[in-house]
Amino acid sequence: MTNPNNISLNISHALKFIDSHALDIPTLTILGENGEILEGAAAPDIDKDTAINLYTTMRFIRLLDERMQAAQRQGRVSFYMQCLGEEAAITASAAALKPQDMIMAQYREQAALAYRGFTLEQFMNQLFSNEKDLGKGRQMPVHYGSNELHYLTISSPLGTQIPQATGYAYGQKLKHIDPATGELNSEIDNLTICYFGEGAASEGDFHAGLNMAAVHEAPVLFFARNNGYAISTPADEQFKGDGIASRGVGYGIKTIRVDGGDALAVFAATQAARKMAVENGEPILIESIAYRLGAHSTSDDPSGYRSKEEEAEFKGSCPIERFKKWLLKQGWLNEQEDEAEKDKIREDILAALKVAEKVQKPALEELVSDVYDEPIPALQKQYEELKEHIKQHPEAYPVTAGRIK
């Protein structure tokens, strides 16, 4: 029988509606709070070097976030966003990828960039928008990007990276398709991971991106960070269905839900998802369940929409400590050395901050220097008008006024 509607031909003669939570979606958990492998669970294939790098990256990001949150409160940077409570979800997923895989992030995934080798100095230069910033000071703080590390520059508008990731991943796949047969002629050697929060999953771009990926079988890993809140909007006011995972199933995408505070579970899920995506040329959705321990950003006050009691309930479960306890059980980590290293990292972060904040801002001409190969007349006209405006009001532009040529 032909099936032009593309549905399961399961005929029923009884009037029955499917319940909104009929699909029972489990949450993969491997590691207990005390660092033990839970009964019935199996640790993923992870070597010592990878595990230590994963842990030290989480530790670094926690310390960086603490220092830069304080720096914003001191007026030294204009804005900051912490990864607090989601370090395992971001770092472990990045650790399960290959270095050539493209990362398209939202704005809380600095741990993925750090795992790839983004240096402390590079973080600071971006946060202070100085002349050494790879983005030439054109972005808000925490809007990182690195061609070298295959990390697409972050955009502020919510969810734009989702359809972009689908298109990019489909392009990655096309290089491996036999034009005569339309089939894969070799295993795809790289893919795209796309991070976003459950709030971004309420954007139209989410639905367009997932549907396109499913129909065209693009090798993209959609990594949904369900951390409970879209700025001040709790999840139960965002959607009625069973989280984000149920939507993946609805779009015909293989899906898994994972405990985002469990580094081993996230690593195992992402490792397996990557294998399926490159071998079969298909999208996968991973929903990470964690809790955003900090504010949405330094512009947010979470006391206006959640209680101190709720926050205290989740503060007792730290993803970094959980993984650290497992490392100690393996004999892969020395606790005394770890504590000493924390003190050194704090010193290094503060020292790098003091250096970066004194580096000059980019020259004004950097605004237009590489928008086109050569600035077009309209852009050049705007630039000249801007220079004249600054000259007329130097008190409003104290950093730039003295450097105009």
Instruction: Cite the active site residues.
Output: 292, 296, 305
Question: Of 207, 214, 220, 209, whose CA–CA distance to 173 is shortest?
Answer: 220
Residue type, 231: I
Residue type, 32: G
3-state class of 176 per DSSP? coil
Taking each helix axis from N to C terminus, what angle separates 335-356 and 48-73, rounded to the nearest 10 degrees? 40
User: What is the DSSP secondary-structure string of 290-326?
Assistant: ----S-SSTT--GGGTS-HHHHHHHHT--HHHHHHHH
Which helix H or strand E contains 61, and what residues bound it? helix 48-73
User: What is the DSSP secondary-structure string of 193-253?
Assistant: EEEEETTGGGSHHHHHHHHHHHHHT--EEEEEEE-SEETTEEGGGT-SSSTTHHHHHHTT-
Residue type, 163: P
Pair 82, 58: CB distance under 8 Å: no
Alpha-carbon distances, residue 29 vs 66, 237, 267, 329 (angstroms): 28, 26, 11, 18
- Residues 6 or more apart whose CB falls under 8 angstroms from that of 49 comprise none
Question: Of 52, 144, 58, whose CA–CA distance to 106 is shortest?
Answer: 144
3-state helix, strand, coil in the chain (%, to 5): 45, 10, 45
Q: Give me the torsion for CA of 251, 257, 263, 264, rounded to 10°.
A: -100
CA 235 to CA 38: how far, in whole Å? 28
CA 359 to CA 404: how far, in whole Å? 17
CA 55 to CA 330: how far, in whole Å? 13
Strands 233-234 and 229-230, how do they pair?
A: antiparallel
Question: Of 236, 239, 231, 237, whose CA–CA distance to 292 is shortest?
Answer: 231
CA 267 to CA 275: how far, in whole Å? 12
